[in-house]
Amino acid sequence: ELDVTEYQKSLAIRVSGFDVPRPIKIFEDSGFSLQLMSAITKQGYEKPTPIQCQALPIVLSGRDIIGIAKTGSGKTAAFVLPMIVHIMDQPELEKEEGPIGVICAPTRELAHQIYLESKKFAKSHGIRVCAVYGGMSKLDQFKELKAGCEIVVATPGRLIDMLKIKALTMLRATYLVLDEADRMFDLGFEPQIRSVVGQVRPDRQTLLFSATMPRKIEKLAREILTDPVRVTVGEVG
């Protein structure tokens, strides 16, 4: 039997919040469908990384989360896998429009990586992913969004542009991820982030990931998350 406290100590894992779900040891503990398990295996992911062990049960339980862990620790799958479950759980998926999962990332490159990772798991479930960042003409992006999708991966600036021209609505969005929040702040995206958050219904699930937690991010987290669980993996600044 895993001694959670000893295990967490050995990896410098700190968890705070009330009624925190226990970490998982293997992906099967998450109750993922066979279809999702096979997509995970196809990726060559044999077992969850430490941040995934902690975050997956928390996010799957519907809780908000602040995840702090360094680059390369597997944060993307920690929010993409529960997002697939969240979307598949929606009743009458086809009836409404607009993305259910909205992910904001600081740069085109990072957003593109998340887009690729999301597509790997979304495709086999018939879930459509749209990329919303520079590099594609705004007209093409408008058309793609109008065709419909369940997941949007975006940089904040371009997402605001697309919302302004009504290429999409956020009325259906219930799963919001702010990835690399510290870098988004460093790049001056705080107003855009606040605007996006303000357009997503308050009963959403909100996930915030960051490598560091400066005071400004703490403040944002307090404002936009509801009873979050905070998970820190490793010694981070």
| Nearer residue to Mg ion within complex by CB, 97 or 109 | 109
| Nearer residue to ligand ADP within complex by CB, 30 or 192 | 30
> Where would I find the H helices in the chain?
4-10, 34-42, 50-60, 75-88, 108-122, 138-147, 156-164, 181-186, 190-198, 215-224
CA distance 4 to 122: 32
Q: Is 118 in the site for Mg ion (CB under 5 A)?
A: no
Q: In this structure, what is the dihedral angle of CA atoms 24, 27, 28, 32, given to the nearest 10 degrees?
A: 110
Q: Determine the Cα angle at 35 with ends 145 and 91, to 5°.
A: 55
Q: Which residues pair with 208 in a beta bridge?
A: 66, 178
The binder of ligand ADP chosen from 3, 19, 34, 72 (CB under 6 A): 72
Residues 211/68, Cβ–Cβ less than 8 Å: yes
| Structure-token match 């219930």, residue found | 174
Binding mask 29-68 for ligand ADP (x = CB under 6 A): ----------------x--xx--x----------------
| Nearer residue to ligand ADP within complex by CB, 80 or 163 | 80
Q: Is 75 in the site for Mg ion (CB under 5 A)?
A: yes
Stretch that binds Mg ion, among 12-20, 74-82, 131-139, 148-156 (CB under 5 A): 74-82
Q: How far is the CB of 148 from Mg ion (least distance, A)?
A: 26
Can you give the binding site for ligand ADP, defined by CB under 6 A? 45, 48-49, 52, 69, 71-77
By CB under 5 A, name the binding residues for Mg ion. Answer: 75
